[in-house]
Amino acid sequence: MGVTVYGPLRAATGSKTVEVPVDGDTVEAVIAAFIDAYPRAEPQLVNDAGELRPSVRVMVDGDNAEYSDRVPPGASVEIFPAMRGG
């Protein structure tokens, strides 16, 4: 599945869009597969309990998505980590 990342996640992936093999059809499955492929991204995305950080935004086909939302085959997934600055 193609995943587009922003901000500091690019340091973990080396590019804006990456292909990630996903076993499942939820946002949670996409995030888990992304972390498996790019472990350096884990602290930016999930807390110690494995829950998506409240400051992280995931979009599926341009719409905000919750952790349990379904991701249809061929969907566009974007991950926005917490951004700092002012």
pLDDT level of residue 50 (50, 70, 90 thresholds):
confident
Edge-first strand order for the sheet with 63-65 is 17-19, 2-5, 77-80, 57-60, 63-65
pLDDT in tens, 33-46: 999 999 999 999 99
Q: What is the pLDDT of residue 85?
A: 54
pLDDT at 60 over 70: yes
**Other CB atoms within 10 Å distance of the CB of residue 44:** 20
- Domains parsed from the chain with CATH numbers: 2-80 (3.10.20.30)
